[in-house]
Amino acid sequence: MAVDIKSKVCGSRESRVGSITGYSGTLSDIKQQLSCSGCPGEKKRCFSQAAACASGCALGQASEINDIAIVHHAPAGCATIAGIKPDFDLLAGAIGRSRDHFGYVCTDMTEADTVFGSTENLREVILETYRRYKPKAIFIGASCVSGVIGEDLEGVIEELKEELPIPVGAIHCEGFKSQIWASGFDATYHAVLKYIVKPPKKKTNKVNVIGFTAGMAWNTRADIVRLLGVLDLEPTFLLAASNVEELEHISEATASITTCSTLSSYMGIGLETAYGVPFIRSLQPHGITGFEDLARQLAKVVGKEEKMEEYIRQERAIYIPQIETIAAQLKGKRAMIAMGPNLGANIARVLQEFGMVVEHLSAWHFDRQYDDGTRPKALQYLIDNSPTEINYSVNHLQNFEFMNILNRVKPDIFVSRHPDSAIWSMKIGVPGYCVYDEYNVFGYKGTLRFGKTLLDLITNRSFTENLAKHVRLPYTDWWLKQQPDAFLEK
Calpha distance 451→325 (Å, rounded)? 10
What gap in Å lies between CA 135 and CA 229, rounded to an integer?
32
Q: Which of 34, 301, 357, 473 binds other proteins (CB under 8 A)?
A: 473
Q: Does the protein bind other proteins through residue 474 (CB under 8 A)?
A: yes
Which of 372, 460, 472, 344 shows the shortest CA–CA distance to 412?
Answer: 460
The verdict on 52 binding other proteins (CB under 8 A) reads yes
* Residues between 139 and 168 that touch other proteins (CB under 8 A): 144-145, 148-149
Stretch that binds other proteins, among 238-246, 303-311, 380-388, 420-428 (CB under 8 A): 420-428
End-to-end Cα distance, the chain: 31
SS3 label, residue 20:
strand
Q: Does the protein bind other proteins through residue 389 (CB under 8 A)?
A: no
Of 198, 476, 481, 483, the residue at the interface with other proteins (CB under 8 A) is 476
The least CB distance from residue 423 to other proteins, in Å, is: 6
- Nearer to other proteins by Cβ, of 97 and 249: the residue is 97
Of 450, 455, 228, the C-alpha closest to 346 is 450
CA 469 to each of CA 170, 427, 473: distance values in angstroms, whole numbers, following the listed order = 49, 8, 11
- Candidates 151-159, 169-177, 225-233, 339-347; binding stretch for other proteins (CB under 8 A): 169-177
- Using CB under 8 A as the binding rule, whether residue 312 contacts other proteins is answered as no
Is residue 420 a contact point for other proteins (CB under 8 A)? Answer: yes
Q: Which amino acid does the sequence have at 350?
A: V
Strand partners, 236: 208
Q: Residue 235 has what DSSP assignment?
A: E
At 474 the three-state DSSP class reads: coil
- Cα 23–Cα 269–Cα 161 angle in degrees, nearest 5: 110
| Residue 85 touches other proteins, criterion: CB under 8 A | yes
414 lies in the site for other proteins, by CB under 8 A: no
Distance CA 105, CA 70 (A): 6
75 lines the binding site for other proteins (CB under 8 A): yes
Region near other proteins per CB under 8 A, out of 74-82, 206-214, 377-385, 444-452: 74-82
Contact between 475 and other proteins by CB under 8 A: the answer reads yes
Interface with other proteins, residue 490, by CB under 8 A: no
Closest approach, Cβ 187 to other proteins, in A, equals 13
Question: How many residues are there in the chain?
Answer: 490
The site string for other proteins over 96-125 (x = CB under 8 A, - otherwise) reads -------xxxxxxxxx-xx---x--x--xx
9 binds other proteins (CB under 8 A): no
* In the complex, minimum distance from the CB of residue 151 to other proteins, in angstroms, rounded to a whole number: 12
- Nearest C-alpha neighbor of 11 from the set 211, 216, 172: 172
Stretch that binds other proteins, among 46-54, 190-198, 291-299, 333-341 (CB under 8 A): 46-54
Give the binding range for other proteins (CB under 8 A) out of 24-32, 77-85, 260-268, 345-353.
77-85
Q: Which residue in 23, 195, 400, 444 binds other proteins (CB under 8 A)? A: 400
Residue 301 within binding range of other proteins, rule CB under 8 A: no
Measuring CA to CA, how many Å separate 10 from each of 58, 149, 215, 242, 270?
12, 20, 28, 22, 11
Task: Mark the segment that binds other proteins (CB under 8 A) among 177-185, 211-219, 233-241, 435-443.
Answer: 177-185
Contact 415, 63 (CB under 8 A): no
Please name the amino acid found at residue 130: Y
Which residue in the set 39, 53, 156, 448 belongs to the binding site for other proteins (CB under 8 A)?
Answer: 53
Under the binding rule (CB under 8 A), the answer on residue 397 touching other proteins is: yes
Using CB under 8 A as the binding rule, whether residue 55 contacts other proteins is answered as yes
Query: In 161-219, which residue ranges form alpha helices assigned H by DSSP?
Result: 182-191
Cβ-contact 236, 246 below 8 angstroms: yes
11 binds other proteins (CB under 8 A): no
Contact status: 421 vs other proteins (CB under 8 A): yes
For the CB of residue 88, give the shortest distance to other proteins in the complex, in Å: 11
- We find the least distance from the C-beta atom of residue 456 to other proteins, in angstroms, to be 22
For residues 166 and 130, is the Cβ–Cβ distance under 8 A?
yes
Phi, psi of 421 (to 5 degrees): -120, -55
Per-residue x/- mask for other proteins, residues 452 to 471, rule CB under 8 A? Answer: -------------------x
- d(CA 378, CA 384) in angstroms, rounded, equals 10
Interface with other proteins, residue 86, by CB under 8 A: yes
Residues in 198-217 at the binding interface with other proteins, rule: CB under 8 A: none
Query: Total number of residues binding other proteins (CB under 8 A)?
Result: 71
Q: What is the closest distance, in whole angstroms, from the C-beta atom of residue 69 to other proteins in the complex?
A: 10
CB of 438 to other proteins, least distance (A): 20
Q: Specify the amino acid at residue 466.
A: N
- Between residues 384 and 477, which has the closer beta carbon with respect to other proteins? 477
Asked if the bond preceding 239 is cis, omega within 30° of 0, the reply is: yes
Count the Cβ atoms, other than its own, within 10 Å of residue 270: 29
Tell me which residue of 253, 249, 235, 271 sits closest to 198, measured CA to CA. 249
